[in-house]
Amino acid sequence: MKNVIILLTLSGLIPFYLKEIIFLLSLFNVSIFFEFSNMYQYIYGSIVISFLSGMQWQRFIYHSERAVYKYFLPIFSSIWAWSLIFDIFNSLFIVISGLSFCLIIELIFQNKLIPVWFKNLRIITTILAILSFYV
């Protein structure tokens, strides 16, 4: 089960690097008819942040957390990510800070519930997702 989770998590990074993959394929004369926009990275990042926020909600509800502020943290990061109506620079900042914020929330509030291998996987995938915006 652990290997399946690792494989699925790492395959989730493919859309972040789709621009680079298409560029590399075009170097080898592979004809790709793909109208490309940088905005898809930000939209996909927002979807990932919303998914991670939903995971936090599930954990807080399952463990009957009484602190009300914990319920607002996942909502905040999701709303923050979907405010992508800004220009590209602000979208970049919003998605990167949203991914970082989701990781920080998970490491602070779910530290004892998450296995070490999964925690390391989350840190690595978050860093790789953030680096995809700079490649």
Tell me the per-residue pLDDT of 3-25, one tens digit each, with 9 for 90 and over: 998 999 899 898 888 888 877 87
Tokens of 90: 């602000």
The Cα–Cα gap between 135 and 133 comes to 6
The Cα–Cα gap between 88 and 80 comes to 15
In the predicted structure, residue 86 carries a pLDDT above the cut 70: no
- Which residue's structure tokens are 């972040």? 16
pTM of structure: 0.67
Cα Dmax for the chain: 58
| pLDDT at residue number 50 | 81
Q: Which helix (H) or strand (E) holds 93?
A: helix 88-109
List the domain range (segments joined by +) for residue 6. Answer: 2-131
Express as a percent the part of the chain with pLDDT over 70: 76
- Number of structural domains, the chain? 1
